[in-house]
Amino acid sequence: MKSLRLFLFAGWLSVAAGAIAQEVNLKIIHEKTEVRLREIAARSRGALGFCALDLTSGERFALNENATFPQASAIKIAILMEVYKQAGEGKFKLTETRRIEKKDKTAGSGVLQELGDGTVELTLHDLCVLMILASDNTATNLLIDLVGMDNINRTLESLGLKQTRVRRRMLDTGASWRGDENVSTPAEAARIMELLFKGEFISREICDDIIAILKKTKETKLKSGLPADVVIANKPGSIAGVATEWAIVYLKDRPYVLVVMDNYGMEEDAPVAMKEISRTVYEYFSRLSRATPHGTYVEKPKEK
């Protein structure tokens, strides 16, 4: 019996030693990835921040994650959340329609500004889809007016988000010059995406409906850094000098959030950096997703 106990104890020590050794090795590749990400960020002449969060383990990479950045169209995720919140409260139905008139039209991105005066009638759900898929500014402003800017910000405050705020309608350059900008931080945007992924905003059903819209296919900088078959739920935003994107990347067995923000940008620095950051983060988490506890890449046995 004594020899059996010694054998088991020796086996436990061997496993424990192996686990500790692998923690050291994992730390090495984490640190190498962090260095690489910071090198990519440093090549951008703008101010760049990012946050990557592993949704299985909580592991993260971050730079300037608490710095405040203007959001351009990425802030439309917060507007979408408020629409679904109020619909869930019974204030309106997403099947209700709105007629698009000339006075409603806003310049910039989108298609509604190109259509006839009063000839188009869309559901609120349709407006949500256009806001995210086509980044339609007319649809966005109609939805802001529907739910109320103050209500959007109260909801953000209730989620513990202190720096994410909607302060102006789309293309209100006067408000932008006054400093009334739509803003967030990489850390808070990552938290929003984490809440949606985990079903912790209002309900699992509402989060799934929001994510379904965010998953609709669109070409973006973070998407361009991923293999074509990887699903992503995301919203980019860009205005002169600003590039942002919030995303959930559905890597098999290792989903993660990635948010990148850049302002005071120069030429193509930010788009290039966003693509490279996305590729680097994917490469890191994909290695972990397919590795054994000792870092070998062995095909997972099929269940019998």
Domain ranges of the chain: 40-289
Task: Encode 140-197 in three state secondary structure.
Answer: HHHHHHHHCHHHHHHHHHHCCCCCCECCCCCCCHHHHHHCCCCEECHHHHHHHHHHHH
Residue 133's pLDDT is 97
- For residue range 119-140, list pLDDT tens digits in order: 899 999 999 999 999 999 999 9
pTM confidence score? 0.91
Mention the CATH class of domain 40-289: alpha beta
Residues (pLDDT < 70) of the chain are 1-21, 303-304
Residue 4's pLDDT is 42
Here the tokens at position 212 are 């379904």
Write the single-letter amino acid at 145.
D
Here the tokens at position 214 are 């965010």
| Sign of the torsion formed by the C-alpha atoms of 197, 198, 202 and 204 | positive
Taking the CA atoms of the chain, what radius of gyration do you get in angstroms?
A: 22
Residue 20's pLDDT is 52
Residue 13's pLDDT is 37
Residue 11's pLDDT is 44
Residue 14's pLDDT is 40
Residue 257's pLDDT is 98
> Strand 97-100 to strand 47-54: parallel, antiparallel, or no bridges (unpaired)?
unpaired
- For residue range 257-285, list pLDDT tens digits in order: 999 999 999 999 999 999 999 999 999 99
Residue 9's pLDDT is 39
